[in-house]
Structure 1
Amino acid sequence: MKKYSFLLTLVLGLSLQACKDFLDEPPRGQQNTNNYYTTADECKAAVMGCYSLSDQSDWWQLDRTRMLGDVGSDDAWKGNAIAGDQREFGDFSRFFWLPNNEWFDNRYTHLYQAIGNCNAALVGIAKAPIDAELQKQLIGEVKFIRAYNYFELVKGFGGVPLVLQPVTAEEALTYKRATAEECYNQIIQDFKDAADALPEKNARAAIDKGRATKGAANAYLAKAYLFTEKWAESQQYAERVISSNQYNLNDDFSRVWSVSNPNGSESIFEFNYNANQTFNLGTSLTVVMRSRADGGWGFNTPSSNLEQAFVRENDPRLKWTIIKQGDSVDVKTASFDYSKYDTKPSENESGRISRKMFLLLKDRPANESNHSPLNRIELRYADLLLMHAEASYRLGQEDKARTSLNLVRARANRLKPGTVLPRTSTGTQLLNHIWLERRLELAMEGHRYYDLVRQHRLVAVIQAFNAAQVTSTDPYDKGKVKDQITEKNNFFPIPTPQIQLSGGNVEQNPGY
């Protein structure tokens, strides 16, 4: 599906013939882990397979679950107002979380598929007769991908089974959940190994842009330490990234999510896509999140509450984050008036869509679903700077915290000079400003739910959101609330099929 389209197929099927003599012959041309990994090219292809499976091949696998970080917060709704269309996503938006919700099972299952692929590649590459330096780099790259997938698991589900080698189906069923601390320890070790083995971004050849780098591994170390509240370590690794001079905020905010700016100057790690139809490459999120009046499916729509957060700050990033009913985004065409955008409010819970995942008509490929070329940015420099600001604040280093915070604000101010001014706050107000900046800068990028959980304020923020919704005068989402929120929603439920398959070895999260 992706630029990383060299998904390794370890077993090649043989077409059946009618001849009995042929059927009696031993298999020929069959490839498996015992006779693969014999050349550098095979090892490189295996690594590409690890990237590919970390993003899967269709919208319903991992693509759509990236919306959970928006919808599981005050930033967004299910969006599509057709009750029977992805009803379980609507249940998620309201925090009515059941362990048999397929969205949880798909995320859990496909992240583990990606981890299994990495485990197989690590064993195969380690025994391959290839150049030692190349071998070290490829292993580092696979460890980065494995750590990325485990990080995605643990920040949603908490402690999960820690599988670090290829296992049979029978062996897999015997694994119990590791603690979150044990999972993070492994994630951190894998990222450290990756950082030791990988080149910096500017050392990557043009054809390899988007692949994991030393900076990406260090940035994820800063993030993993932030999630575990190890502030000194988080600051340390964030400063390694900052001092590397590999990343900057030179690209205007309006271009961060532009299809014409892949792997831009602040991109630390992103999944690369193109619109190749022959090899079925691309993403589907631009269709999934677009207005139903504009050929989309209408999911993951921004809330009026998010819009008002921008309005209160007079923040020009609003224009590049939310498209609201009637906004002008392009010119009128024979089939659609982009100068007065129609979000189709009758089938849209908020009368809004995400600007960051929006493609202009000229940039849309034929058969766009599953073939969109808009890259998915997983970690960027502004995020890293705000992590550094938060860790520095926790260490009592408020000058450092304000410096990183205001670098992000200075870039936003370039959109409309005089609107996003430097913060001079101190104490608790400074922390609140850092958290607000994360919301505004990273809105609709899938971070908000996970941020609220690690900040220990998910329930309080959603309760405040609900109270504001009751008195809202917004013409589109006034009165709508997320009424099922409780403390149990700080973790996703472990999917029922996974508990059943394990024979009870995998235990459920509290409250489900």
Structure 2
Amino acid sequence: MKKYCLYLSLALGLSLQSCEDFLTQTPNGQQTTANFYTNAEECTAAVMGCYALTDQDDWWKIDRSRMFGDAGSDDAWKGNAIAGDQREFGDFSRFFWLPNNEWFDNRYTFIFQAIGNCNAALAGIEKAPIDAALKQKLLGELKFIRAYNYFELVKGYGGVPLVLTTLTPAEALAVPRASAADCYAQIIKDLQEAAAALPEKRDRPGAEKGRATKGAANAYLAKAYLYTEQWAPAQQAAEAVMNSAQYNLNDEFSYVWNVNNHNGNESIFELNYSPNQTFNLGTSLTVVMRSRADGGWGFNTPSSNLEQAFLRENDPRLKWTIIRQGDSVGTATANFDYSNYNTKPSENESGRTSRKMFVPLADRPANEREHAPLNRIEMRYADLLLMHSEASYRLGQETKALSSLNLVRARANRLQPGTVLPRRSTGAQLLNDIWLERRLELAMEGHRYYDLVRQHRLVAVIRAFNAYQATSTDPYDKGKLKDQISESNNLFPIPTNQIQLSGGVVTQNPGY
């Protein structure tokens, strides 16, 4: 027997290791990076592999940690009230964050694995004997995917090891953390180069729908600039998307998260899923976040605080964001009454579930976990418009800020005319209105925690949330607190495993 070990470090992903024994025999042929990138089909397949690894193939890798942006805020709880079921997610929801929490480690490790694959594909395709135009487009896609993954890391962990080439395991473990500023500079560089190389959405043929576009690269540029408080380039990048006429809000709010609306009018970038039963090509979040009474696991449940935010505004988006105990979301069947939805309050911290991740029974595939076809929209036009609104406000251009803000509100008003009226605010109130609109429009899409951090108000908002909880009369989540909040929670802890594997080269964030 001969032992071969595959080290999925920063060459293919940070410090994830797997070893398998193989029989010793002379292979008829071997596929290696040295002989793989020989034609357009192989190069395209490598890029498709980078898209796939960006999402992984099981719920516990990256999929579940997309709930961080909800549960790490005033919008949601762990949800599942069974104490021993994913206890570490419950710790996350309460801001009791320990560096040895496996949720932090898995997110960090598997995103770095995706970055490593991008680096390997970039090196291979750069030397490939393929058409120059195709080469530039594929390299643009890879730079977009790498930037997307680095953005997902830096907005949570702060500065991380910045690796742009393939490395050996020993080399990878010796790379220290770069500053957050340096990481964002690289993200911006990758996105600028991607935007220059990629086609617009309309120029992608049907078989390529969902792949990165010029609009996606510019939208993420706007987001990177927003997170680094570079307001003028954020506005300019957003306007490049707006002026492209590739996206609109014509789809009703109630239809955005629908299995029949993949890559719809509003979609700028989304993770595409398939119900294919042979491979894990779908999401698990539709099961992970659904009521335990309806065959789900019951995690990441909306808070009464979020519901009250909608009710104070008389906002009809509530119905399409939160399913409350007893709501009607369909008709009764022999096994479940969808006209009187049971959130199973005995095993649910809030008596609510997410409507945006809810798939009606008729649209659920067999073997739904890892096979649900509800795409994950990572960037949509309403988000882009609200980023433009915020950047314009910061530049003192309140007319532009109100225009983009009210485009989003006008679409919401179509759900129930006369309820979501145009804003006319100015000054500090206008900024508060923009921030509130982000909460209501994007609720339960994984944005809220990261918004609160970049707005420098995470601790203040969670303390206000706890004050509300202490006096709440809600029948389900009254009295529950997120009682461990502190300034250290503005960053995730660097996982203990990563620090140990690096021999201390990778250092910890403050407060952990």
Cα deviation, residue 280, structure 1: 2.8
Determine the structure 2 residue equivalent to 1:368.
Answer: 368
Q: Contact 2:235/2:391 (CA < 8 Å) preserved in 1?
A: yes
Amino acid at match of 1:106: N
Structure 2 SS opposite 1:182: helix
Structure 2 SS opposite 1:299: coil
Amino acid at match of 2:23: L
Determine the structure 2 residue equivalent to 1:446.
Answer: 446
Q: Contact 2:499/2:507 (CA < 8 Å) preserved in 1?
A: yes
Q: Contact 2:50/2:117 (CA < 8 Å) preserved in 1?
A: yes
| CA distance in 2: counterparts of 1:278 and 1:230, whole angstroms | 46
Structure 2 SS opposite 1:339: coil
Amino acid at match of 1:469: Q
1:16 to 14, 17, 23: 23
| CA distance in 2: counterparts of 1:483 and 1:281, whole angstroms | 38
Residues 195-226 of structure 1 show CA distances to partners (whole Å, capped at 9, x for unaligned) of 00000000000111110000000000000000
Amino acid at match of 1:367: N
| CA distance in 2: counterparts of 1:306 and 1:249, whole angstroms | 24
Using structure 2 for the length normalisation, give the TM-score. Answer: 0.96
Task: State yes or no: 1:428 paired with 2:428.
Answer: yes
Amino acid at match of 1:339: S
Residues 407-459 of structure 1 show CA distances to partners (whole Å, capped at 9, x for unaligned) of 00000000000000000000000000000000000000000000000000000
Structure 1 SS opposite 2:503: coil
Amino acid at match of 1:310: F
Determine the structure 2 residue equivalent to 1:458.
Answer: 458
| CA distance in 2: counterparts of 1:335 and 1:297, whole angstroms | 17
Determine the structure 1 residue equivalent to 2:248.
Answer: 248
Determine the structure 2 residue equivalent to 1:485.
Answer: 485
Determine the structure 2 residue equivalent to 1:304.
Answer: 304
Aligned residues: 495
| CA distance in 1: counterparts of 2:290 and 2:21, whole angstroms | 42
User: Runs of 5+ in structure 2 lacking a partner?
Assistant: 1-11, 13-19
Task: State yes or no: 1:35 paired with 2:42.
Answer: no
Determine the structure 2 residue equivalent to 1:89.
Answer: 89
Query: What does 1:69-468 align with in structure 2 at a 5 Å threshold?
Result: 69-468=69-468
| CA distance in 2: counterparts of 1:244 and 1:31, whole angstroms | 42
Amino acid at match of 1:427: G
| CA distance in 1: counterparts of 2:303 and 2:233, whole angstroms | 35
Cα deviation, residue 281, structure 1: 1.9
Determine the structure 1 residue equivalent to 2:473.
Answer: 473
Amino acid at match of 1:216: A
Cα deviation, residue 28, structure 1: 2.7
Q: Contact 2:58/2:280 (CA < 8 Å) preserved in 1?
A: no
Amino acid at match of 1:16: L
User: Runs of 5+ in structure 1 lacking a partner?
Assistant: 1-7, 18-22
| CA distance in 1: counterparts of 2:282 and 2:196, whole angstroms | 31
| CA distance in 2: counterparts of 1:489 and 1:398, whole angstroms | 32
| CA distance in 2: counterparts of 1:100 and 1:482, whole angstroms | 20
| CA distance in 2: counterparts of 1:254 and 1:170, whole angstroms | 50
| CA distance in 1: counterparts of 2:283 and 2:218, whole angstroms | 27
Moved over 4 A (4+): none
RMSD: 1.2
Q: Contact 2:144/2:190 (CA < 8 Å) preserved in 1?
A: yes
Q: Contact 2:288/2:297 (CA < 8 Å) preserved in 1?
A: yes
Amino acid at match of 1:76: A
Residues 290-334 of structure 1 show CA distances to partners (whole Å, capped at 9, x for unaligned) of 000000000000000000000000000000000000000000000
| CA distance in 1: counterparts of 2:61 and 2:152, whole angstroms | 14
| CA distance in 2: counterparts of 1:143 and 1:404, whole angstroms | 29
| CA distance in 2: counterparts of 1:281 and 1:181, whole angstroms | 35
Q: Contact 2:79/2:301 (CA < 8 Å) preserved in 1?
A: yes
Q: Contact 2:105/2:497 (CA < 8 Å) preserved in 1?
A: yes
| CA distance in 2: counterparts of 1:335 and 1:363, whole angstroms | 16
Determine the structure 2 residue equivalent to 1:51.
Answer: 51
Task: State the identity as a percent.
Answer: 78
Residues 88-120 of structure 1 show CA distances to partners (whole Å, capped at 9, x for unaligned) of 000000000000000000000000000000000
| CA distance in 2: counterparts of 1:486 and 1:412, whole angstroms | 35
Amino acid at match of 2:89: F
| CA distance in 1: counterparts of 2:224 and 2:22, whole angstroms | 47
Cα deviation, residue 14, structure 1: 11
| CA distance in 2: counterparts of 1:492 and 1:400, whole angstroms | 35
